[in-house]
Amino acid sequence: MQLEEHTDIDLLITRYLSGKLDKESFAELKRWSLESESNRKYVRNKLEVWFSSGAADTAVRFDKDKAFSLFRQRVAGAEKKQKQMLRFSWKTFMRVAAVVLILMIPFVTYWQGKQAVKQNFADMVVEAPMGAHTKLYLPDGTLVWLNAGSKIIYSQGFGVDDRRLRLEGEGYFEVMKNEEVPFEINTKELNLRVLGTKFNFRNYPDDEEVTVNLMEGKVALRNGIREMPELYLTPDEKMVLNKVTGQMVKSSTRAAKANVWINDELFFDEELLEDIAKKLMRSYNVKVEVADSLRNKRFYGSFGISANTIDKILDVMASTQQMNYKYENGVYILY
């Protein structure tokens, strides 16, 4: 059965996808999607068709002038295979080592009575699997690289009312400048706010420390563990936050080395061996355990991921005579 055409709504959806939808038009799209269940499904299907057709290729920026005609062509072809519209093109996403989860747009729960809508649009989730990283552009034009095992979550209204996102793991960001709408990253332990800048932010849930390295611009950091004034970073400075004590330490660094992972490299900047082990696990998709006696050891080094096996890297680290390692039952044990 053919989907009913709503050219005006298609145009609003395309402008949203191209990052050019203004606040009033976004409100109009939300209102229309909440008028009925069929409207909700219409918007949801159009969004899924767009992403599953490959238009969400992370290496491509949306072109406002070409977006609408391309969108219409893909929708027309997809309507002939309506049963496939609710599935994602996993091959497309795996080519860029990303898993994009488009969550369903909520609707007014008429069957429960006239209750207030809990949210207008659900969150967008982008993940990078273990052993790989991915590149994407946010609706505001901000470039993001996600390291292995990382995830960002942001609203479908990102860039309209605010530019807030949640991060789990590590990401490199080149933030598009917008003086009216600051860019914010929220994590449990640390919140970051900027206008336009380049920085690397690492905060995996199982890491001992949170680290922010600034390449360009200026960032404000707010401690989520204990009360203290905001801390500001300028280029070639880094901040390390201890997740146990809440202590934040700022120091000078070669910030450009912090994001070498986007070029398939590993860089250890006097990092805890415990966190280095986790980097190795994510990069090589293996299991690594660290003896309690080595948890406070720190190492400095740089390695190409593809050019080295994990055994070669551990051999170099062991040559410092600060540690040894062995491989038993599928696990690398550092002692």
Region 294-319: what's the mean pLDDT?
90
Least confident of 3-12, 24-33, 295-304, 318-327: 3-12
Q: How many distinct structural domains can be found in the chain? A: 3
Note whether 169 and 206 are same-domain residues: yes
Comparing 45 with 176, the larger pLDDT belongs to: 176
Choose the final residue of a domain: 254, 282, 312: 254
310-318 helix and 273-284 helix, angle to the nearest 10 degrees:
160
Q: Where residue 246 falls among pLDDT bands split at 50, 70, 90?
A: very high
Does the structure show a pLDDT above 60 at 73?
A: no
Angle, CA of 75, 81 and 83, to the nearest 5°: 110
Amino acid making up residue 283: S
37-50 helix and 7-17 helix, angle to the nearest 10 degrees:
50
Per the domain annotation, does 286 fall within a domain? yes
DSSP structure string for 281-315: HHHHT-EEEE-GGGTT-EEEEEEETTTS-HHHHHH
Residue 105 has a CB neighbour count (10 Å cut-off) of: 21
Q: Where residue 118 falls among pLDDT bands split at 50, 70, 90?
A: very low
Choose the final residue of a domain: 254, 284, 319: 254
Note whether 183 and 291 are same-domain residues: no
Total-model pTM: 0.62
Beta bridge partners of 269: none
Per the domain annotation, does 20 fall within a domain? yes
If you average pLDDT over every residue of the chain, what do you get? 79
Choose the final residue of a domain: 191, 222, 254: 254
Per the domain annotation, does 104 fall within a domain? no
Phi then psi for residue 290, to 5 deg, are -120, 130
Domain that holds residue 34: 1-87
Does the structure show a pLDDT above 80 at 238?
A: yes
Comparing 323 with 71, the larger pLDDT belongs to: 323
Region 301-327: what's the mean pLDDT?
92
Per-residue model confidence as pLDDT tens digits over 122-152: 688 999 988 888 999 998 999 999 999 999 9
Note whether 167 and 64 are same-domain residues: no
Return the CATH number at 306.
3.55.50.30
For position 46, what pLDDT does the model report? Answer: 72
* Class of residue 141 by CB neighbours under 10 A (exposed 0-12, middle 13-18, buried 19+): middle
Per the domain annotation, does 105 fall within a domain? no
Least confident of 71-85, 157-171, 320-334: 71-85
Region 264-281: what's the mean pLDDT?
89
Note whether 296 and 245 are same-domain residues: no
Q: Where residue 159 falls among pLDDT bands split at 50, 70, 90?
A: confident
